[in-house]
C-alpha cells in the first residue's frame, strides 16, 4: 500500500462491479481495498480505516444500511464518509440513503466519470471539514493557553507580592518603632520571618522548575539526615497549618541510610506533605511512613483524610500549574507545582511518585530506588 495514496474501500457482492470499480479507482490514483459483503466490509474497515467507503446497499447478510449503522456506533469508524450504490432510484430510496448516513447516493448503472466526480467532491468536503476542525482545535488550544497564562501570571503576582508585602510592612513597623510593647515588636518580626519563609519556598520552586526545564536537576546522592532533612523541614511546614489542628503521625524506620540530592529531596518531601496538610479537613490526621531500601533507596507514603483524588484525575494533578488552571474560584493557595516537582525529582533518580488506591482521603507513594552503578554518591 502506497502511503501517499488515498485508500477507498469498495464493498459489493457482485464481482463484476466490485472488480470494475477497483480497476477504475486504481487508474485514478486511489489505493483500493475490496470486500464481498457487509460483514467483510465492516471487518476490513476496522483493519484499514479507509478515507472513504463506496458500498452497495442490497447485499446478503448485512446490508449497506445495516453496516453503516454498525459503523456509526464505533468511534473509530463513525467519521468515515460513505457513498451508497444502488439499483433503486426513487426519491424515497435516495432520502433513505441520506438518512442512513450516506454522504452521497449513486444509482446503478452509473457513469464512471460521475462516480469519480462525486468521490472527489466528498473527499474535498471532508478535507475542508477536517481543516476547519483543526483550526477550531488550534484556536481552542490557543485560547486555553492564553487563559492559563493569564491565571499563572495573576497567581504569581498574588503568591509573590502577598508575602513580600507582609515582610516589608512588618519590618517597616519594627524599623520605625511603630509598636507599643516588646510583644508587638516580636509579633511583627514573627510575621516578617514567616512571610520570608513562604517567599523563599516559592522562589525555590521557581528555580527548581527552571532546572527541570533545562534538564539540569541535581542527581548527586548524599546521605539524608533524619532530623535535618525530614523532621525539621516537615514540622516547619506543618506550623503553617496550626489553625487547622492537624494530627501529624510519622512512622520512619531507617535500617540503612537514604541517599538523595538533599535540597531536591527535602523540597519534594515537603511538597507531598504540604498537599496533605492543605487538603486535610480541620482536626484531620496526616500520616508519613518512610522505609529505607538496602542501598540508599526508600519508600515514602503520605496519607491524608481529605476528599481524595478521582482516578480520572490522578495523572492530571501532576501537571504543572494544574491547581492554577481552576480559574478565579481556586480555593487553595500555592502555585500548583508541588506534585510536578516531586515527580520530576524522583523520576530523575529512576524512581516514581504516584497516587495509590486508598479507602479514605489521598495516598501518595514515592519510590526512590537503591543506588545504581551510574549514580554519583558521597557523604
The full 3-state SS of the chain, as one line of letters, equals CCCCCCEEEEECCCHHHHHHHHHHHHHCCCEEEEECCHHHHHHHHHHHCCCEEEEECCCCCCCHHHHHHHHHCCCCCCCCCEEEEECCCCHHHHHHHHHCCCCEEEECCCCHHHHHHHHHHHHHHHHHHHHHHHHHHHHHHHHHHHHHHHHHHHHHHHHHHHHHHHHHHHHHHHHCCCCCCHHHHHHHHHHHHHHHHHHHHHHHHHHHHHHHHCCCCCCCEEECCHHHHHHHHHHHHHHHHHHHCCEEEEEEECCCCEEECHHHHHHHHHHHHHHHHHHCCCCCEEEEEEEECCCECEEEEEECCCCCCCHHHCCHHHCCCCCHHHCCCCCCCCCCCHHHHHHHHHHHCCCEEEEECCCCCCEEEEEECCCCCCCCEEC
Residues 14-71 have pLDDT tens digits of 898 899 989 999 999 999 999 999 899 999 999 999 999 999 888 887 888 888 888 8
In the beta sheet, which residues pair with residue 377?
Answer: 221
Q: Which CATH class is domain 7-110?
A: alpha beta
Residues 157-210 have pLDDT tens digits of 667 778 888 888 888 888 888 888 989 899 889 888 888 888 888 888 888 888
Which cell is 310 given?
A: 478521582
Q: How confident is the model at residue 99 (pLDDT cuts 50, 70, 90)?
A: low
Contact indicator for 275, 336 with CB cutoff of 8 Å: no
pTM score over 0.75:
no
Q: Is CATH 3.30.565.10 the classification given to domain 221-378?
A: yes
127: pLDDT strictly greater than 50? yes
User: Rounded to an integer, what distance in angstroms lies between the CA atom of residue 89 and that of residue 343?
Assistant: 64
How many CA atoms are closer than 13 Å to the CA of 113, on its beta-carbon side? 0
Assign residue 300 a region (left: φ > 0; alpha: ψ between -120 and 50; beta: otherwise): beta
| pLDDT value for 333 | 54
Q: How confident is the model at residue 213 (pLDDT cuts 50, 70, 90)?
A: confident
| pLDDT value for 300 | 97
User: Rounded to an integer, what distance in angstroms lies between the CA atom of residue 239 and that of residue 154?
Assistant: 27
Which cell is 132 given?
A: 476547519
Residue of 364 and 314 predicted with greater confidence: 364
Lowest mean per-residue pLDDT among 73-77, 97-101, 254-258, 308-312: 97-101
Residues 326-365 have pLDDT tens digits of 444 444 455 568 889 999 999 999 999 999 999 899 999 9
In the beta sheet, which residues pair with residue 298?
Answer: 292, 368
Lowest mean per-residue pLDDT among 166-175, 257-266, 294-303, 321-330: 321-330
321: pLDDT strictly greater than 60? yes
How far is C-alpha 215 from the chain's CA centre? 21
User: Rounded to an integer, what distance in angstroms lies between the CA atom of residue 70 and that of residue 54?
Assistant: 16
| pLDDT value for 329 | 46
| pLDDT value for 72 | 87
Residue of 321 and 89 predicted with greater confidence: 321
Unique residue bearing C-alpha cell 514540622: 235
CB burial class (10 A; 0-12, 13-18, 19+) of residue 149? exposed
Give the dihedral sign, CA 308/310/315/320: negative
| pLDDT value for 64 | 85
Unique residue bearing C-alpha cell 503568591: 159
Residues 6+ apart with CB under 8 A from 78: 71, 72
Sheet holding 104-107, edge to edge: 31-35, 7-11, 52-56, 82-86, 104-107
Lowest mean per-residue pLDDT among 42-51, 109-118, 119-128, 231-240: 109-118
Average pLDDT, the chain: 85
Please give the backbone phi and psi of residue 364, each rounded to the nearest 5 degrees, phi first: -115, 135
| pLDDT value for 35 | 92
User: Rounded to an integer, what distance in angstroms lies between the CA atom of residue 101 and that of residue 63?
Assistant: 13
Contact indicator for 120, 92 with CB cutoff of 8 Å: no
Amino acid at each position: 500500500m502506497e502511503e501517499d495514496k488515498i485508500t477507498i474501500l469498495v464493498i459489493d457482492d457482485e464481482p463484476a462491479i466490485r472488480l470494475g470499480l477497483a480497476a477504475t479507482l486504481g487508474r485514478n490514483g486511489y489505493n483500493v481495498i475490496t470486500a464481498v459483503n457487509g460483514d467483510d466490509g465492516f471487518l476490513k474497515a476496522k483493519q484499514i480505516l479507509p478515507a472513504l467507503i463506496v458500498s452497495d446497499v442490497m447485499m446478503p447478510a448485512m446490508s449497506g444500511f445495516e453496516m453503516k449503522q454498525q459503523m456509526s456506533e464505533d468511534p473509530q469508524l463513525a467519521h468515515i464518509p460513505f457513498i451508497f450504490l444502488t439499483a433503486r432510484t426513487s426519491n424515497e430510496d435516495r432520502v433513505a440513503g441520506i438518512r442512513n448516513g450516506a454522504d452521497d447516493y449513486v444509482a446503478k448503472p452509473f457513469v464512471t466519470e460521475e462516480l469519480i466526480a462525486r468521490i472527489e467532491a466528498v473527499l474535498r468536503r471532508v478535507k475542508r471539514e477536517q481543516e476547519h476542525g483543526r483550526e477550531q482545535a488550534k484556536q481552542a488550544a490557543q485560547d486555553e493557553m492564553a487563559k492559563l497564562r493569564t491565571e499563572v501570571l495573576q497567581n504569581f503576582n498574588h503568591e509573590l507580592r502577598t508575602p513580600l508585602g507582609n515582610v516589608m510592612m512588618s519590618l517597616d513597623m519594627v524599623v520605625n518603632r511603630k509598636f507599643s510593647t516588646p510583644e508587638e515588636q516580636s509579633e511583627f518580626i514573627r510575621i516578617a520571618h514567616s512571610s520570608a519563609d513562604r517567599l523563599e519556598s516559592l522562589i525555590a520552586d521557581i528555580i527548581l522548575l527552571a532546572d527541570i526545564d533545562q534538564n539540569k536537576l541535581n542527581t548527586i546522592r548524599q546521605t539524608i539526615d533524619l532530623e535535618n532533612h525530614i523532621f525539621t523541614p516537615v514540622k516547619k511546614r506543618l506550623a503553617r497549618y496550626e489553625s487547622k489542628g492537624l494530627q501529624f503521625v510519622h512512622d520512619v524506620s531507617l535500617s540503612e541510610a537514604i541517599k538523595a540530592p538533599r535540597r531536591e529531596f527535602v523540597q519534594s518531601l515537603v511538597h507531598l506533605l504540604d498537599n496533605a496538610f492543605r487538603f486535610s479537613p480541620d482536626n484531620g490526621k496526616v500520616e508519613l511512613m518512610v522505609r529505607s531500601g538496602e542501598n540508599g533507596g526508600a519508600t515514602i507514603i503520605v496519607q491524608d483524610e481529605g476528599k481524595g483524588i478521582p482516578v480520572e484525575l490522578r495523572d492530571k494533578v501532576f501537571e504543572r500549574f494544574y491547581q492554577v488552571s481552576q480559574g478565579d474560584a481556586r480555593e487553595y493557595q500555592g502555585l500548583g507545582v508541588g506534585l510536578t516537582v516531586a515527580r520530576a525529582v524522583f523520576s530523575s533518580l529512576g524512581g516514581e511518585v504516584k497516587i495509590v488506591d486508598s479507602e479514605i482521603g489521598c495516598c501518595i507513594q514515592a519510590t526512590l530506588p537503591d543506588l545504581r552503578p551510574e549514580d554519583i554518591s558521597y557523604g
